[in-house]
Structure 1
Amino acid sequence: MIPLYNTADIRRLDSFAINKLKVPGIMLMENASIGIYQAISEKYPGIKSAGIICGKGNNGGDGFAVARHFSNLGIEVKVLYIGAANDMSNDCRINFEILKSLSSGRNNLKVRSFKIIKDIDWLKKSDLIIDAMLGSGFTGDLKEPYYSIVNRVNKFSSIKCAIDILTGLDSDTGFGNCIFNSDLTITLGELKKGLFIEKGYQNCGEVILKEIGIGNDFFDNVSADTYLIEPEDVFQALPKRGKSVNKYSAGKVLSIAGSYQYPGAGALTSHSALVAGAGASVLSIPESAKKLVHRSLIEVVVESYGTSKTFYFDSDVLEQIKERIKWADVLVVGPGLGRSSETSSAVRKFLLNKGSKYTVLDADALNALDEKFLDKIDLSDCVFTPHIGEFAKLINTDIKKIRTDILKYGRNFAVRYKTVLVLKGAPTIIFNKFGEAFINTTGNSGMAKFGTGDVLTGILAGLLAQAKNTETASIAAVYLHSLSADLLLAKKPLSNYLPTDIIKNFPNAVKFVERSVI
């Protein structure tokens, strides 16, 4: 796992370096600027001109120092600074004064003060624009003149880079009302949470970490609660098969999924469980839908309930399938069930009587639930897999409000119900009962299709049936499901692969992880 840190941790790092280690702030700034300059030069070696927008804090100071390094190389550099020199932080002003002095004797270095919004157009033809306006301490809404500057610069065709954090982005929550859109973000000291969630994830481009010259000793004593998932974590979570395993000891999955209207959801879920390694997968589906899925499911046992006039899951079905529920190691409830009041009532009754069975709750099962009902039952053996719309309904909170601090809302839910929450999105985030968050690092926008979530649910159930651990199975399932989609891009266009392709390619994703670790 790669730990991610919050703004308070980063501030303590700066204080530790300056007050405990006695490293001058200007030295930290110089170390940072060298790393930034090197990262940009290696990534974009053909750059001939750079425009740098500097604020009055230490982020601006980094920008002034970076401008000096590029100017030393002979690149045409234009620097636009916001605010008066007297308002700059001490270290920022030192680098500003150095740059001003150098500019008087260099034709390739020009430094100007920002006065009106049209001043930004002075940088428009630069090959590269560097954002050094606001740093990781920023919170709240971006205000003028920064709001207009960012909006204008985002429309430029230049390559864009950001120093440490994107201007306008809250480095803890990944939220903001107006955010710099970067191709490359060089973050300093340690990785920040906000770069990998919500608008940070959407706007930061590639993220490169650069040290500031004091090592990582400080963070040895800092507890993280948010992590990026690595291949090694997935490899360790993969179930290991013994020589004496049989089809039943390899894990038994029962999917209560699909309906006459949505038969495909049940088919995708139950088939994916087998591909993920479960030894036995049974699909329980209405009699009216059985013929619709039976021919496509060769390896899955399809069992119907009700009569030819039964179209959805209801409470009468529970008695009919109770022995199969006892048989299963893992239960899947929700994909394609439908949202009738009878189905919702049956889902609630099922949860009240399922006993201590591992259960994956998805899609229409989530629609049947609310916090008042969830408070009544033990959910420690459950995994919830909502997208943000389903999650908002589940906790009766507006989607926009959740997005302002998605980590907080996800943690609160998982801790409150002592359960695992897989909050699907870009990126998908897994929360455990201790409040830890694990951010997925694989996946692409081609996954935005009907059926992709059903495949994830089946993969998760298949891994859970073997691993018997809701947290590790969820982490592995989310990562491998998305990695399978990433590997498809080697042979299929982004928009033209299907959820069934993700299933077929899943073994290749597992092999990819094994080869990258072993």
Structure 2
Amino acid sequence: MIVNVETMKKCEEKSNLSNLELMEQVGFKLAIEIMNRHQSHDKIIVVCGKGNNGGDGFVLARVLFEKGFNVKVIPLYQELTTIEASQQLKLLSKKCFLTKNQDRYEEILNADVLVDAIFGFSFHFEIPSECKEIFKTYNQSQAIKYSIDINSGAEADSGHIASDALTSTVTFALGYKKIFHVLRKDHFLFDECIVIPLDIAKCEESDIIEMTDEQFIQSYPKLREDTYKGMEGKPLIVGGCYGMAGATVLNIMGAQAVGSSYIHVACDDKIYNILSSQQITPVFHPFTNDTVGSVLKELFPKVKCISFGSGATHLESKKIIFELLLQQTNCPVVLDAEGIRCLQNNLYILKLIRTQVILTPHLQEFADLVGMSIDAVKTNKLVLAKEFAKEYHVILVLKGPNTIVVSSQGEVYINQTGNSSLAKAGSGDFLTGIITGLVSQLNDPFYATIMAVWLHGKAADLIVTHRHPRQVSIDDLKEAVSQFFFEHC
């Protein structure tokens, strides 16, 4: 289960445990974790903040001290902000604190083990100026490092990471993983995340959706004995242009990989021969600038999902296609690449249509779409993605190391599959085909999109178990998808 801060607080409140009791439980369980990993003579430094996260650190230090471990505490603030943290501070032996002659910066640099108990899940914005030198020194240390719940300097819900946020060898997620933990590929602040179970109320629901092998297999539509062509959904792929016909080929491969048995492809007649020589099973509908309208209008009632934009950079009729898709279709529309660029300065159009639109931008495309720098997007991408999906009533697939899928209702999926083998030209076109194929087969476009993103990454993960990421091709990805279905579906 992945929870946001609000849900976590509700779980704690329903547990009928006081903050002091929770603090005792957390500190004791963390102490056991550290004692199992280290020797009593190891030099352990616990750096504590002024709130409840600092209180957890005080309990941890007290338990370690009572068990004979060499532990010291560095409180960063003289005044604490919670009664519970103040109570825990008073219970610490004076021997746990550095003497006046000990330099805290030197102690941090020379520590064997460092524990970050500074800021918890309530942290926002930037690191206070009075802490910056300590944070820099902490990150310079070669010690084994642990963070309690959230690495200090990171926001639990938004994905925002402040400059000089603390790194860790292990981050102990308390109770449940938070959004921060599943965005690891974006920030790499920790090497490993370990969930510490707490005796709190069980979280029954979360807005953060997860996907596993079992969930995918259960949700993937099964073939009936009386199945005939087209029952698995009829997708329509529109796109490509002279010089970029390969993008459409990859769209087709993606739709084929997820079992689409009747694929329509509308393409500029300049690339028809190229496409038909590469793919022989789709039904092709070549068009010219003069005939594109009539060709598409005839196809719209026959299909269940349409994708547009992959490889359409120089397509002469792209604006005509774009307007037709948003004005005269009833089925879901997947906009990729040039389809997304057609929205620039025209976002208001999305508020005027009834068709379910699925956008698949990478970070730079999204930054261009919202008129922000890519750095600004990276530091707050989850919040921006949710706001965008809600305002424009779309399903947003924000591609990146941890691809995010967001619905207009605020539901969030943060993908955990995939690796660097996907960071190559054509990977996104293949994904667009997978999305189009699955959406055409399932009644829930949002869940189908999640399944597509998960499967795309899962295929890459299966390949890199026996091949270097640089050597992975789109053909390999398609073969991996086929192998997954053969073994599980």
Q: Which TM-score applies when normalising by structure 2?
A: 0.88
Residue 91 to residue 358, structure 1, CA distance change in 2 (3 Å): closer
Which residue does the alignment assign to 1:310?
none
**Equivalences for 1:228-243 in 2 at 5 Å?**
228-243=210-225
Instruction: Please point out which of 424, 449, 459 is paired with 2:424.
Output: 449
- The amino acid of 2:398's aligned partner reads L
Secondary structure of the 1:495 match is helix
The Cα of 1:188 is off from its aligned counterpart by 1.8
Q: CA deviation at 1:278?
A: 0.5
- The aligned counterpart of 1:99 is 92
More displaced, 141-150 or 225-234?
Answer: 225-234
Native 8 Å contact 2:127 2:153 kept in 1: yes
8 Å CA contact 1:174, 1:196 repeated in 2: no
* Pairwise CA RMSD: 3.0
Match of 2:331 in 1: 357
Query: Could you say which residue in structure 1 is the equivalent of 2:443?
Result: 468
Offset of residue 489 of structure 1: 1.8
Q: Is the 8 A contact 2:267 2:285 kept in 1?
A: yes
How has the CA–CA distance of structure 1 residues 73 and 490 changed in structure 2, closer, same or farther, with 3 Å as cutoff?
A: farther
Determine helix, strand or coil for the equivalent of 2:278: coil
Cα distance in 1 between the residues matched to 2:467 and 2:216: 25
Equivalent residue in structure 1 for 2:393, among 393, 418, 425: 418
Q: Deviations over 1:156-178 (max 9, x none)?
A: 33332210111111222121322
- 1:99 aligns to what SS in structure 2? coil
In structure 2, distance between residues paired with 1:500 and 1:46: 50
| Secondary structure at the counterpart of residue 454 of structure 1 | helix
Could you say which residue in structure 2 is the equivalent of 1:255? 237
CA change 1:45–1:451 in 2 (3 A) is: farther
Q: Deviations over 1:251-272 (max 9, x none)?
A: 2222112211212111111111
Asked whether the equivalents of residues 78 and 123 of structure 1 are also in contact (C-alpha less than 8 Å), the reply is no
Return the offset for 1:379: 2.6
Post-superposition Cα deviations, 1:77-116, rounded to whole Å, max 9, x if no partner, equal 34332122x5464433444344334x3xxxxxx5327999
Q: Which residue number corresponds to residue 409 of structure 2?
A: 434
Structure 1 residues 181-190 or 482-491, which shifts more? 181-190
CA displacement at 1:431 relative to structure 2: 1.8
Query: Where does residue 471 of structure 2 map in the other structure?
Result: 496
Question: 2 CA distance for matches of 1:146 and 1:114?
Answer: 19
Letter in 1 for 2:3: L
2 CA distance for matches of 1:115 and 1:473? Answer: 62
- Which of 374, 391, 396 in structure 1 is aligned with 2:350? 374
Residue of structure 1 in register with 2:166 after alignment: 180
Retained in 1: the 8 A contact 2:326–2:355?
Answer: no
Alignment partners' CA distance in 2, 1:29 and 1:120: 27
State the SS of the aligned residue for 1:441.
coil
- Aligned residue for 1:453, secondary structure, equals helix
- Please point out which of 126, 132, 135 is paired with 2:120: 135
How many matched pairs? 485
Quick check: 1:31 aligned with 2:7? no
Alpha-carbon displacement from aligned partner over 1:179-224 (angstroms, at most 9, x marks no partner)? 21223211223433333348875324433222343332xx45xx64
Query: Following TM superposition, by how much is the alpha carbon of 1:75 offset from its aligned partner in structure 2, in angstroms?
Result: 4.6
- Corresponding residue number in structure 1 for 2:143: 158
User: Helix, strand or coil: the match of 1:449?
Assistant: coil
Is 1:387–2:362 an aligned residue pair? Answer: yes
For 1:287 and 1:115, how far apart are their aligned partners in 2? 81
Q: Which amino acid aligns with 1:167?
A: S
The aligned residue for residue 107 of structure 1 is: none
What residue in structure 1 maps to residue 129 of structure 2?
144
With over 3 angstroms needed to count, the CA separation of the structure-2 counterparts of 1:267 and 1:199, relative to structure 1, is closer
Structure 1 residues 15, 476: closer, same or farther in 2, change over 3 A?
closer
Q: Residue deviations 1:263-295, cap 9 Å, x none? A: 211111111101111012243333333444444
Does 295-304 or 490-499 show the bigger shift? 295-304
Instruction: For structure 1, list consecutive stretches of 5 or more residues without a partner in the other structure.
Output: 104-109, 307-313
Distance 1:388 1:343, change over 3 A: farther
Task: Identify unmatched segments of 5+ residues in structure 2.
Answer: none
Q: What CA deviation, in whole Å up to 9, does each residue of 1:482-516 have, x standing for no partner?
A: 111112221012333233322221133446766xx
Instruction: Write the letter of the residue equivalent to 1:151.
Output: K
Structure 1 contact 480–509 (Cα < 8 Å) conserved: no
Shift of 1:362: 1.0
Distance 2:55 2:43 in 1: 20
CA contact under 8 A between 1:379 and 1:417: conserved in structure 2? no
Q: Which amino acid aligns with 1:122?
A: E
| Farther off after superposition, 92-101 or 256-265 | 92-101
Cα distance change, pair 227–154 in 1 and its aligned pair in 2 (3 A) = farther
Distance 2:325 2:417 in 1: 32
Q: Please give the secondary structure, in 1, of the residue aligned with 2:292.
A: helix
Given that residues 81 and 112 in structure 1 are in contact (C-alpha distance below 8 angstroms), is that contact kept between their aligned partners in structure 2?
no
